[in-house]
Amino acid sequence: MDIQFTPEDLAFRDEVREFIASEHPKDLLGIRYRQHLKREDILAWHQILHQKGWIAPNWPVEYGGTGWTPMQRYIFSEECARAETVTILPFGLNMVGPVIYTFGSPEQKEHFLPKILSAEHWWCQGYSEPEAGSDLASLRTTAVLDGDEYVINGQKTWTTLAQFANWIFVLARTDPEAKPQAGISFFLVDMNTPGVSVRPIKLIDGSYEVNDTFFDNVRVPRENMIGEENQGWTYAKFLLGHERVGIAGVARSKTALGYVRDMAVHELIDGIPLAEEDGFSAKLAEVEIDLTALEFTELRALAAESQGHAPGAEASILKIRGTEIQQRITELAVEAVAHYGFPKEPSEDDTTALEVGPEYAIGAVDNYLQMRKTSIYGGSNEIQRNIIAKMVLGL
């Protein structure tokens, strides 16, 4: 694809930049750690974009999409990253939404899609289980048809922000005798249904973002199953392809790398800026080169998607390289701030936390610890390499 900005692209960039500057809540710009935000904070920017008609750049126009070109979508993500806007949650817009408008019934599209766009429905993901993470096909949660309802029993884990969600999309086994991938169905479940319960999981950095979610004889209307019974694995793979493209996070990584460069300019070694030290500057350059290469891969994926091609092996490539780069950037940040990174970031729950050193050192270690998860969620990077080996190399 042609990645040169046309005059129209530049005008669009100016429009996006002006809109963010004038409409994004000022007190929420530059907040890099979602786990510190309240429910209303996370939803604020979503609702503003919805009112503007900009909330679903990747959706078809007939379902509420913007009709933007791949370059306009790229510009929009770049400008949001540059301004450090609140990150829009992917579970409704980028994950279950495309499943519904691709495989759902007309009634499901009419009911669910507008509520995803408006954020009336806050979705979370019911995929992973204690014994079924990267090996998702070994899931044990069951759904048994009883009249016009399915009765779901089981447990999901690592359910991001389930404490705020009012809907969850769930993979459950509907044919226990079938091969692992063949007996799974895809359900849309109201979190307020009797029998659904949520238990928090405290993360290594002390934050609370993920949960265990339990289903105890949860009755779900038959019409809340997507597509055909026992075909859920097909829909699950489709969803994961969209998720993995988003996980790459190229635009946000470019912003984060800029922060590390600024750190390295201010941190001194024997009176010399760290940015001029051969070893550290070489590491920065290597990450920047890899990030640029990944950006071109993402642009090719966007161009292919705009022509109707669903993400394939490139989704796994983006996921692997994107998450590795994210982790390397956080490692460089910790290396740059050195001993100043040790004291934990102050929080409402811990008034004894120390705050020493420069402001840019605060949160460096917390962010490093948070980003350890990125190479695991969305399908571990080991599994993604297996996918590439099969789809691309035919192994």
Strand segments, DSSP code E, in the chain are: 123-126, 142-146, 149-156, 167-173, 184-190, 196-202, 208-221, 225-226, 268-269, 272-273
pLDDT of residue 218: 98
For the segment 114-140, the average pLDDT, to the nearest whole number, is 92
Which of 140-144, 202-206, 342-346 has the highest average model confidence (pLDDT)? 140-144
Q: Which of 156, 322, 132 is nearest to 243 (CA)?
A: 322
DSSP per-residue codes, 137-151: GG---EEEEETTEEE
What is the CATH number that goes with domain 123-229? 2.40.110.10
pLDDT at 98 > cutoff 50? yes
pLDDT level of residue 149 (50, 70, 90 thresholds):
very high
Provide the whole-model pTM.
Answer: 0.83
What is the CATH number that goes with domain 249-393? 1.20.140.10
Instruction: Give the integer Cα–Cα distance in Å for 91 and 114.
Output: 15
Q: Directed axis angle between helix 70-83 and helix 250-266, to 10°?
A: 40
What tens digit of pLDDT does each residue of 317-341 get?
A: 888 999 999 999 999 999 999 888 7
pLDDT at 269 > cutoff 50? yes
Q: Are 291 and 261 in contact (CB under 8 A)?
A: no
Which burial class, exposed, middle or buried, applies to 22 when counting CB atoms under 10 A from its CB (0-12, 13-18, 19+)?
exposed
pLDDT level of residue 383 (50, 70, 90 thresholds):
confident
For the segment 189-215, the average pLDDT, to the nearest whole number, is 91
What tens digit of pLDDT does each residue of 213-238 get?
A: 999 999 999 999 999 999 999 999 88
Q: Are 314 and 387 in contact (CB under 8 A)?
A: no
For the segment 355-375, the average pLDDT, to the nearest whole number, is 81
- The amino acid sitting at 297 is T
Average pLDDT of every residue of the chain: 88
Instruction: Give the integer Cα–Cα distance in Å for 332 and 321.
Output: 16
Q: Are 264 and 274 in contact (CB under 8 A)?
A: yes
Work out whether strand 184-190 and strand 149-156 pair parallel, antiparallel, or are unpaired: unpaired
Percent of the chain with pLDDT over 70: 90
pLDDT level of residue 305 (50, 70, 90 thresholds):
low
Q: Are 83 and 29 in contact (CB under 8 A)?
A: yes
Residues 6+ positions from 252 with CB-CB distance below 8 Å: 81, 87
In the chain, where are the structural domains located? 7-88, 123-229, 249-393
8 is catalytic: no
Instruction: Give the integer Cα–Cα distance in Å for 312 and 277.
Output: 41
Of the candidate ranges 36-40, 264-268, 279-283, the one whose mean pLDDT is the lowest:
36-40
Instruction: Give the integer Cα–Cα distance in Å for 342 and 59.
Output: 43
**Residue with more model confidence, 6 or 257:** 257
pLDDT of residue 160: 93
pLDDT of residue 34: 57
What is the dihedral sign for C-alpha 281, 287, 293, 296?
A: negative
Q: Check 78, 79, 129, 243 and give the catalytic one.
A: 243
Of the candidate ranges 21-30, 94-103, 116-125, 199-208, the one whose mean pLDDT is the lowest:
199-208
From residue 132, give the alpha-carbon distance in Å to each of 126, 154, 173, 242, 336. 11, 12, 12, 20, 37
Q: Which of 140, 112, 143, 117 is nearest to 127 (CA)?
A: 140
pLDDT at 352 > cutoff 60? no
From residue 207, give the alpha-carbon distance in Å to each of 35, 200, 202. 6, 10, 6
Count the alpha carbons within 13 Å of 186 in the hemisphere toward its beta carbon.
21
Work out whether strand 123-126 and strand 167-173 pair parallel, antiparallel, or are unpaired: parallel
Percent of the chain with pLDDT over 90: 60
pLDDT at 185 > cutoff 90? yes
Q: Which of 171, 264, 272 is nearest to 225 (CA)?
A: 171
Q: Which of 211, 202, 228 is nearest to 168 (CA)?
A: 211
For the segment 29-49, the average pLDDT, to the nearest whole number, is 82
DSSP per-residue codes, 195-240: TEEEEEEE-TTS-EEEEEEEEEEEEEEGGGEESSTT-HHHHHHHHH
pLDDT of residue 283: 96
